[in-house]
Structure formats: structure tokens, C-alpha cells
Structure 1
Amino acid sequence: MTYSGKMIAGGKAVLPAELRREFGLRDGDRIIFERHGEGILVKSYDQVLREVQSNLKALIKHPFTVDEFLAERRAEADGE
């Protein structure tokens, strides 16, 4: 679906209300602009955060818990 917005004074972009509601955007929320070919991709800050978390999670080869981490540190301290 295609939407139309408007550029207003100061370089501010107005997103259509339907899109703001659909994506849960409220006044003051941060949005991210990315170059996408010859266009602009607009994402919510929360969406970008979820993407980064997902990418980082994929890099973890052996997930561990806080309890495992603390047990390792205790074992290291006992060995010193």
C-alpha cells in the first residue's frame, strides 16, 4: 500500500495517521531513516533495536545464563 505524507518547515516529515496508529508511533517517539537504494526506509527505534538484538543473538554460539556466568566467575575466583 502507498501512503502520502508531507514535508513541513524545518525538514519535518508528517507521517499519515493510519501509519502512526498501525505501528504504534506516538508524539516524541524516535524514528530511524535509512537509505534504501534511491529511496528512504523509515523504521521505529524499537524496530531497529529488535533487529540489532536479533543480529547479536545470532552471533552468540553458545548461549548461557546469568547463573552459568556467575558459576564460572566463582570457579575462577576459587582457583586464584
Structure 2
Amino acid sequence: MAATSNLSHGRTVIPAALREQLGIKDGDQLIWEIRDGELVVTTRLAQLRRAQATIKRHVPAEVELATELVAERRAEQDREDRR
């Protein structure tokens, strides 16, 4: 655990040890949100990995979403072209 203070203009500093543990580098985007009354800070990369894990749990491994999307768009375009 680490404690910091809220500085002027709402600024705060994430302690170096925590930045190192999370792999936060200068310029990384951080996501700030309130969950259950607490402030939670995550990285864009962590959110991306969480989203990928969610999709992986709900989509069978043999399904290629990008391929399916392209096929659907082509079929849609074919239908439009025939009109």
C-alpha cells in the first residue's frame, strides 16, 4: 500500500513502486473510474487484455470474428448492389 496527496489542480503522483509493478511508463494512458465507491486506475493495455479475455470466454476458439465480419459486410454489399 502507498499513500499520496492530492496536489493543486487535482494532480496526484502514482508512487514509483506501483508504476513499476504495473509496468506504467511515461506517456501511457490511464483510465480512471469509480467502482463501488472507490477510485480505480487501470491502463489501456489492462483494459484491452480484460476485453480480450471476456471475448475469449464467450466466442469459440474456431470462430474468427474478423473473418466473419468481412464476410457479412461483403454479403451486405452484394445485396445492395443487386437492388
Asked if TM exceeds 0.5, the reply is yes
Following TM superposition, where does structure 1 have runs of at least 4 consecutive aligned residues deviating by more than 4 angstroms?
none
Change (3 A) 1:6 1:61: same
Structure 2 unaligned regions, length at least 5: 72-83
Relative to the length of structure 2, the TM-score reads 0.65
The answer to which structure has the higher helix fraction is 2
Structure 1 unaligned regions, length at least 5: 74-80
- How many residues were matched structurally? 69
* RMSD of Structure 2 on Structure 1 (CA): 2.5
Alignment of 1:23-42 (within 5 A): 23-42=22-41
Deviates more, 1:9-18 or 1:42-51: 9-18
C-alpha deviation, 1:48, in angstroms = 0.8
The answer to which structure has the higher strand fraction is 1
